[in-house]
Amino acid sequence: MRPTMSARSTRALTSLTAAAALAALTACSSAPADEPATEEAAADTAGNGGGAEGVEIATVLGDGIDVRAEPGGGEVLHTLGSPNDFGVDRTFLVERNEGEWLQVLLPVRPNGTTGWVRSDEVSLTSTEYRVEIDTGDFEFTVLDGDEEVRTGVIGTGEGETPTPEGRYYFTELLQPPDPEGPYGVYAFGLSGFSETLETFAGGPGQLAVHGTNDEDALGRQVSHGCVRVSNEDITWMAQNLPLGTPVEISG
């Protein structure tokens, strides 16, 4: 028996209701307004100065990436694996976005080295956070856009192993096995290196911002180059700041 008009209408109404529910569910999963709607849209953003509008962070998609001297090809300066030596996905701070090519700050010596990577070999995210570290005043400030959201006391490098000034970014977040050890509860690796130590503790002399087991020593030159903060401050950073967050160290 063929369905009556009434039955058809009921079926149509049911289909429409299901479609509307599906559309509503799909709409709920769209990105918040402050995130790039798509990777392509993010890649089209020109410039990445790190002001109130935020910066872009590139995360390598494959198991490695070629870094070139110029956009559009040219000499391969470095081939960097992903994940990095600590098993964390390789990230870069994007300094300039030219669509197909991105100029990125590299976690290599000498400090401040940049290179170019293809934008289709990375995924892009963004953050409005940045960290300013004043080694002269022994103070750090975290800014969200133009707003100061956290400040605290720091310990810096001693006379022979100073904390080098420059622009860096967080490369990984580690949780040391002993939370009461010298690195405290968390340690954010930086993209920069000591300028006086080629190696340290079996590592490459990499700088970091980390907690401490001696908070009384904050406000002084106590480290071999790393920036020490209280465990409370590093915990806040670990809960709020993404990898790739820019860190400006000045004296």
Residues that bind other proteins (CB under 8 A): 25-26, 28-29, 31, 86-88, 125, 127, 157, 161, 172-177, 182-183, 186-187, 189, 194, 197, 200-203, 205-208, 210, 223-226, 238-243
- Could you tell me the smallest distance in angstroms from the CB atom of residue 129 to other proteins? 9
Cβ-contact 160, 199 below 8 angstroms: no
Structure tokens at 4: 């009556």
Element (H, E) at 27: helix 5-28
Q: What is the rounded radius of gyration, in angstroms, for the C-alpha atoms of the chain?
A: 23
| CA distances in angstroms from 125 to 106, 154, 231, 243, listed in the order given | 17, 29, 27, 10
- Could you tell me the smallest distance in angstroms from the CB atom of residue 125 to other proteins? 7
Nearer to other proteins, 101 or 234 (CB): 234
- Could you tell me the smallest distance in angstroms from the CB atom of residue 231 to other proteins? 13
Nearer to other proteins, 48 or 125 (CB): 125
Q: C-alpha angle 66/67/71, rounded to 5°?
A: 115
Eight-class DSSP state of 121: G
Helix, strand, or coil (residue 178):
coil
- Could you tell me the smallest distance in angstroms from the CB atom of residue 167 to other proteins? 18
- Could you tell me the smallest distance in angstroms from the CB atom of residue 10 to other proteins? 22
Separation of first and last alpha carbons in the chain = 87
Which of 192, 194, 195, 227 has its CA nearest to residue 212? 227
Nearer to other proteins, 101 or 193 (CB): 193
Q: How far apart are CA 59 and CA 77, in angstroms?
A: 18
Contacts of 121 (CB under 8 A, 6+ apart): 60, 61, 62, 65
Cβ-contact 127, 242 below 8 angstroms: yes
Q: How far apart are CA 85 and CA 148, in angstroms?
A: 33
- Could you tell me the smallest distance in angstroms from the CB atom of residue 146 to other proteins? 19
Nearer to other proteins, 153 or 222 (CB): 222
- Could you tell me the smallest distance in angstroms from the CB atom of residue 166 to other proteins? 14
Cβ-contact 246, 93 below 8 angstroms: yes
